[in-house]
């Protein structure tokens, strides 16, 4: 069975500071890994994904994540936080593109001016 | 990217009534759609996998007689919450994958259900 652990239910950073949201997964097969962002009362928007190939994945809005198999991690980073980045972020795993996603509990990012 | 829509975006109903939520893939055909439920400030939990032309596959603990899923066409899946009660109030989100597209699922915008 697959699972996702997001360390820290709430992360607060200053505007312009580095954003680091942690995600660890467990999977018995090579995983597909995703990061989604959710704004209040809205659906999910895909930030980035890892399926195969390059382990450093760049996404939208300046976010990137690195797949580290040895650490079973897929942490999300952004060099400089913007006020508009304040939202809920979900890490998810699946074993293919056509199977349901297993989500982490989410991390709420607050950005302080 | 592919677009998935949901209707309605929000609904308020009285306890005991039934509510139907539609999930449509607008520019692709989806043989499989997924229904998730999200409680306030919590993560998404898979409720069921909706398969076109066959019965849905429900996750453990999800009442299939209460949450009726019908995937009548390649572009439409419906979730009907029967005899709704206040504890069914939640945010319901569907997703679908474009078989001819990238390996990712596209999510609908969600439906906020409030049962009074």
Report residue B66's pLDDT band, with 50, 70 and 90 as the boundaries. very high
Q: In this predicted structure, what is the pLDDT of residue B8? A: 97
Contacts of A40-47 with CB under 8 Å at 24 or more apart are: A41/B91, A41/B110, A41/B112, A42/B109, A42/B110, A43/B6, A43/B93, A43/B107, A43/B108, A43/B109, A43/B110, A44/A90, A44/B44, A44/B93, A44/B107, A45/B107, A46/B1, A46/B104, A47/A76, A47/A89
Give tens-digit pLDDT for A56-67.
Answer: 999 999 999 999
B112 contacts in chain A (CB < 8 Å): 41
Q: State phi, psi for A83 to the nearest 5 degrees.
A: -55, -35
Give tens-digit pLDDT for A53-92.
Answer: 899 999 999 999 999 999 999 999 999 999 999 999 999 9
Give tens-digit pLDDT for A8-47.
Answer: 999 999 999 999 999 999 988 888 999 999 998 788 999 9
C-beta separation of B8 from B108 below 8 A: no
Report residue B1's pLDDT band, with 50, 70 and 90 as the boundaries. low
B43–A46 CB contact, under 8 Å? no
Indicate if the pLDDT at residue B94 is higher than 80.
yes
- Rounded to a whole number of angstroms, the distance from the CA of B31 to the nearest CA of chain A is 10
Indicate if the pLDDT at residue B25 is higher than 80.
yes
**Cα separation, B46 vs B106, whole angstroms:** 15
Q: In this predicted structure, what is the pLDDT of residue A89? A: 97
Residues B22-51 have a mean pLDDT of 91
B42–A51 CB contact, under 8 Å? no
**Cα separation, A10 vs A106, whole angstroms:** 9
Tell me which of A73-82, A93-102, B92-101 is least confident: A93-102
- Beta-carbon contacts of A70 under 8 Å, excluding residues fewer than 6 positions away, are none
**Cα separation, B14 vs A65, whole angstroms:** 44
A43 contacts in chain B (CB < 8 Å): 6, 93, 107-110
Indicate if the pLDDT at residue A106 is higher than 80.
yes
Mean pLDDT of chain A: 93
**Cα separation, A101 vs B107, whole angstroms:** 11
B99 contacts in chain A (CB < 8 Å): 98
Q: In this predicted structure, what is the pLDDT of residue A1? A: 79
- Could you count the other beta carbons within 10 Å of the beta carbon of residue A80? 12
């Amino acid at each position: 069975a697959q699972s996702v652990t997001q360390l820290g239910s709430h992360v607060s950073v200053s505007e312009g500071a580095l954003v680091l949201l942690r995600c660890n997964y467990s999977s018995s097969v090579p995983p597909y890994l995703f990061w989604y962002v959710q704004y209040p009362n809205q659906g999910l928007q895909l930030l980035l994904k890892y399926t195969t190939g390059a382990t450093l994945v760049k996404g939208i809005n300046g976010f990137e994540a690195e797949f580290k198999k040895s650490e079973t991690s897929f942490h999300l980073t952004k060099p400089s936080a913007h006020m508009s980045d304040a939202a809920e972020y979900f890490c998810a795993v699946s074993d293919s593109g056509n199977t349901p996603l297993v989500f982490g509990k989410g991390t709420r990012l607050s950005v302080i001016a | 990217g592919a677009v998935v829509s949901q209707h309605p975006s929000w609904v308020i109903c009285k306890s005991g009534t039934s509510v139907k939520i539609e999930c449509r893939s607008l520019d692709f055909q989806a043989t499989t759609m997924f229904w998730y439920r999200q409680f306030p400030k919590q993560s998404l939990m898979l409720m069921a996998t909706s398969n076109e032309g066959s019965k849905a596959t429900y996750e453990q603990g999800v009442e299939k007689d209460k949450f009726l899923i019908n995937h009548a066409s390649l572009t439409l899946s419906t979730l009907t919450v029967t005899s709704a009660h206040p504890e069914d109030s939640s945010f319901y989100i569907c997703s679908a994958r474009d078989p001819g597209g990238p390996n990712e699922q596209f999510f609908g915008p969600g439906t906020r259900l409030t049962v009074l």
